[in-house]
Amino acid sequence: MPFPTAANAMGGPSEVEINGIVIPDDFVGEITPNVAPVLRTSTRQSGTTTRPTNLLDNPEYSFPLYLNSYLDLQYIFPEAYEGGYVVAGTTTCSIPDPVEVIFRGKCSPEGDTVIMPSAYVTFEDNLARNGTDDRGVTVHVYPQPNDQGQVLYGSDDES
């Protein structure tokens, strides 16, 4: 298949789907991806060479999630909801189950989708609280290796 000859792609807002829960773009801030291959560098008699691998070097997506209420976190983190609170940090040692995460472009959904079939999702309470900023948290998504691949770029018609 030849590379397109016309540049007609549209960027724009993206909605995020975490474990089947769709978060509209109205609640999502700037999405910051960090997906890079593991590089192997070796010093040889002829000089130093660097080669990419098929492995990813600590991939992560993060974005501010603006909330109507901190209780909105219960929809994304139901395992942390108990007694009317979303509980962060406990004395119980555990790792959450990985879930599917999809970033879906709204202006050009055909081929403007990033899918993580298996990812750990967590949040960090690090956004400013003042008289002008909205309530929110930063969500971090860590894709995990699996037989489908860690990060899939394209369309989610097959997911």
pLDDT tens-digit map of 20-72: 999 999 999 999 999 999 999 999 999 999 999 888 889 999 999 999 999 99
Per mean pLDDT, which of 84-88, 126-130, 135-139 is the most reliable? 135-139
The pLDDT value given to residue 112: 82
Could you give the CA distance from residue 24 to residue 17 in angstroms, rounded to a whole number? 9
Residue 7 lies in a domain: no
Can you tell me the distance from the alpha carbon of 65 to that of 153, in angstroms, rounded to the nearest whole number? 22
With a CB cutoff of 8 Å and minimum separation 6, the contacts of 48 are 41, 42
pLDDT digits (tens, 9 = 90+) for 92-119: 777 888 999 999 988 765 668 899 999 9
> Residue 73 belongs to what H/E stretch?
helix 73-76
Report if residue 3 sits inside a domain: no
- Mean pLDDT, residues 134-158: 86
Length of the chain in residues, anyone? 159
Domain count of the chain? Answer: 1
Evaluate whether 115 touches 32 at the Cβ level (below 8 Å): no
Residue type, 156: D
Give the pLDDT confidence score for residue 27 in this predicted structure.
95
Cα–Cα distance measured from residue 93 to residue 87, given in angstroms and rounded to the nearest whole number:
14
Residue type, 151: V
Positive/negative CA dihedral, 83, 85, 91, 92: positive
Q: Per the domain annotation, does 159 fall within a domain? A: no
Does 4 reside within a domain? no
pLDDT band per the 50, 70, 90 thresholds, residue 127 = confident
Domain harbouring 74, CATH code: 2.40.30
Residue 148 located in a structural domain: yes
pLDDT of residue 147: 86
Give me the pLDDT at residue 159, please: 44
CA-wise closest residue to 77 among 142, 16, 139: 139
92 occurs within a structural domain: yes
What is the model's pLDDT at position 5?
Answer: 63
Q: Residue 73: is its pLDDT beyond 80?
A: yes
Closest CA relative to residue 101, chosen from 158, 12, 20, 11 = 20
Share of the chain above pLDDT 90, in %: 53
